[in-house]
Amino acid sequence: MNAIETVGLSKAFRNIYAVQDLNLHVPEGSIYGFIGENGSGKSTTERLICGLLVPKAGQIMLYGKPYTDAGVRSHMGVLIENPACFPSSTVYQNLMMQALNLNVKNPKEEINRVLNLVSMAGAAGRKFSQCSLGMKQRIGIAQALLGRPRLLILDEPINGLDADGMRIVRETLSEINRQEGVTILISSHILG
């Protein structure tokens, strides 16, 4: 089964197409790299899949159901651009606020689980503003993983990271996919 399937997906802004007639098939349980130059429509496509934009034409299916289906959407984790965190709050506090917003059961246990998954358990008490860019990206991924989503959509999660930061994020995503079976759609303009 495909986790994501688009048929003839199109989106225009002022009659200029950002995405035109896109047919995309992302198999369940895969890590799917969505590569392209800046301005090629990657972020627009991800926003369409997440329901943050409305398509001009075409169809989006998630696990065989319309992308607007509330049951399907409740199993999505999303990081578009930068993590939405309060700078003066700790990593743990930011995750707790997100867990409460999502009505996550056993939030303390869930936060510990996602912090371990992204190798950030030791930084739980650190203020978000004191975290490096790579740490902030992993915190954003942790936020997206709250509630055990089946589908993780990440927009440029390695953007701005040094080589070591990129390696850590790649290893983290591979481990999440292997341990949790999460389907991951990751966009990047960096081919490597």
| Average pLDDT over every residue of 27-49 | 90
Question: Are 110 and 153 within 8 A, CB to CB?
Answer: no
The parent domain of residue 125 ranges over 2-188
pLDDT band at 123 (very low <50, low <70, confident <90, very high): very high
Residues 6+ apart with CB under 8 A from 144: 77, 78, 79, 152, 153, 154
Q: What DSSP string runs through 76-89?
A: EEEE-SS----TTS
66 φψ region: left (φ > 0), alpha (ψ -120 to 50), beta (else)? beta
Quick check: 81 pLDDT over 90? no
pLDDT for position 60: 96
Identify which has the larger pLDDT, 1 or 168. 1
Q: Kindly report, residue by residue over 179-191, the tens digit of the pLDDT.
A: 889 999 998 876 6
Lowest model confidence (mean pLDDT) among 43-47, 161-165, 169-173: 161-165
pLDDT for position 20: 94
Look at the chain and report how many structural domains it folds into.
Answer: 1
Could you tell me the pTM of the whole model? 0.85
Please, is 58 exposed, middle or buried when counting C-beta atoms within 10 Å of its C-beta (0-12, 13-18, 19+)? Answer: middle
pLDDT for position 119: 84
Identify which has the larger pLDDT, 27 or 157. 27
* CATH, residue 149: 3.40.50.300
Q: Kindly report, residue by residue over 100-119, the tens digit of the pLDDT.
A: 988 999 999 999 999 998 88
Question: Are 43 and 155 within 8 A, CB to CB?
Answer: yes
Quick check: 84 pLDDT over 90? no
